[in-house]
């Protein structure tokens, strides 16, 4: 796992989560990813068990199309109590724990902001300060809500499973004391979360709403990207022809571009050569067929992907769905202007 040295909640921390260029606390500039990072909170939403947001709602928030939830009392209370809760947990286990941001060394888009990790980087802790007695009572009885279980599995993924055990610690002294619950690695659930998150992340990157089967989702993503590519290729061809025109048939270099001029002697039309030899030597047709079979290449299977006849209609639906999502929050322009929705 890679340790990321950032102050949680800072602008650079938000940039890191969004997959943008950020500067860590050591002043090192880190380049942007080709898409957003999926943190433990978002990863658990992708898992489908979150009571706080659906994958579609999160998709809209990450694109700035849907108003993000403002920090409510429960969230503010949790942030305020977290340091105190971490100290209480430290006293229980007899070890020092510190907050730390991490990302996978294999898949940097898999990331997490850990509430606590031991100094040896072998165990972690996920702290919750619930206002719900039901949630805290579950912890007292030794149960971890599915949403938080998924969140912890994602944290393990971000550590490349270096953290094989993470404690779930519910801190609410007025409701009774809950002991830490150790959550172990669940490779099957981790694989399910990664598959769901990859589909979700692609939907964010292509701005294609989550809908239909996995194939349909992938097909729509291809359609959107193919349309973008065609538009870019058209602009590129126009720019290339403009450069050729200004080069006036001469080699030239400038602006990071080089124009070269070469002469081609032409290719030999071997099929015509063969037909000429056959005709001049009066080779029988059956011998020609025998030669063709002897030099025939092995059969191959070619899988092609291209736009279908209904591509225009499907593309129009995708564009319309995105515009509809935007119109839902058109009155909340401040939400659309938020550079880094919290997720």
> From residue 87, how far is each of 139, 152, 166 by CA, in Å?
18, 20, 16
| CA-wise closest residue to 104 among 28, 197, 25 | 197
164 vs 155: CA distance, rounded Å = 10
- pLDDT given for residue 328 in this prediction: 46
pLDDT tens track for 37-69 = 999 999 999 999 898 888 988 998 898 877 666
How high is the pLDDT of residue 105? 96
Check residue 114 and report its DSSP letter: E
Contact at 8 Å (CB) between 33 and 109? yes
* pLDDT on residue 71: 54
Closest by Cα among 145, 91, 98, 105 to 123: 98
Strands 2-4, 29-30: pairing is unpaired
User: pLDDT (tens digit, 9 = 90+) per residue, 210-232?
Assistant: 777 778 878 888 888 888 899 99
- Identify the pLDDT of residue 70: 57
Give which of 103, 150, 149, 140 is closest to 4, Cα–Cα: 103
pLDDT at 242: 94
- Candidates 193, 154, 209; CA nearest to 321 is 209
Please give the domain boundaries of the chain with CATH numbers for all domains. Answer: 1-255+303-343 (3.90.320.10)
Q: What is the pLDDT of residue 152?
A: 97
- Which residue stretches of the chain are H helix? 11-18, 40-46, 55-62, 73-93, 133-140, 146-158, 187-206, 214-247, 270-280, 285-294, 311-328, 333-336
| Contact of 186 with 151, CB cutoff 8 Å | no
Q: Can you tell me whether residue 218 is helix, strand or coil?
A: helix
Query: Quick one: pLDDT at residue 111?
Result: 97
Residues of the chain with pLDDT under 50: 328-342
Task: List beta partners, residue 126.
Answer: 168
Question: Residue 179's pLDDT is what?
Answer: 94
Q: What per-residue confidence (pLDDT) applies to 164?
A: 92
pLDDT at 100: 95
Q: Are strands 257-259 and 123-128 parallel, antiparallel or unpaired?
A: unpaired
Residue 330: predicted pLDDT: 43
What pTM, to 2 d.p., does this model score?
Answer: 0.69
Say what the pLDDT of residue 340 is: 38
């Amino acid at each position: 796992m890679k340790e990321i040295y950032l102050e949680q909640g800072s602008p650079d921390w938000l940039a890191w989560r969004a997959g943008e260029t950020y500067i860590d606390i050591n002043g090192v500039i880190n380049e942007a990813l080709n898409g957003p990072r999926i943190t433990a909170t978002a990863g658990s939403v992708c898992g489908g068990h979150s009571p706080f947001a659906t994958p579609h709602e999160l998709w809209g928030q990450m694109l700035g199309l849907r108003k993000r939830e403002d920090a409510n009392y429960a969230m503010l209370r949790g942030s305020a109590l977290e340091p105190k809760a971490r100290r209480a947990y430290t006293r229980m286990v007899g070890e020092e724990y510190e907050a730390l941001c991490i990302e996978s060394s294999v898949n940097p888009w898999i990331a997490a902001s850990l509430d606590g990790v031991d100094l040896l980087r072998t165990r972690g802790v996920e702290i919750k300060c619930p206002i719900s007695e039901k949630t805290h009572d579950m912890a007292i009885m030794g149960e971890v809500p599915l949403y938080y279980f998924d969140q912890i599995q994602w944290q393990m993924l971000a550590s490349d499973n270096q953290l094989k055990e993470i404690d779930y610690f519910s801190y609410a002294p007025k409701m009774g004391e809950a002991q830490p619950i150790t959550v172990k690695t669940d490779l099957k659930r981790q694989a399910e979360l990664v598959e769901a998150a990859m589909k979700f992340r692609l939907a964010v990157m292509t701005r294609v709403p989550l809908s239909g089967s996995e194939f349909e989702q992938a097909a729509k993503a291809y359609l959107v990207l193919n349309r973008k590519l065609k538009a870019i290729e058209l602009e590129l061809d126009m720019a290339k022809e403009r450069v050729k025109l200004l080069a006036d048939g001469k080699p030239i270099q400038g602006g990071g571009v080089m124009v070269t001029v070469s002469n081609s002697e032409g290719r030999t039309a071997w099929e015509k050569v063969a037909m000429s030899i056959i005709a001049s030597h009066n080779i029988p047709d059956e011998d020609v067929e025998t030669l063709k079979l002897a030099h025939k290449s092995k059969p191959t299977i070619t899988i092609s992907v291209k736009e279908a006849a209904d591509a225009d209609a499907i593309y129009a639906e995708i564009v319309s769905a995105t515009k509809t999502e935007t119109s839902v929050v058109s009155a909340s322009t401040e939400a659309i202007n938020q550079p880094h929705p919290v997720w």
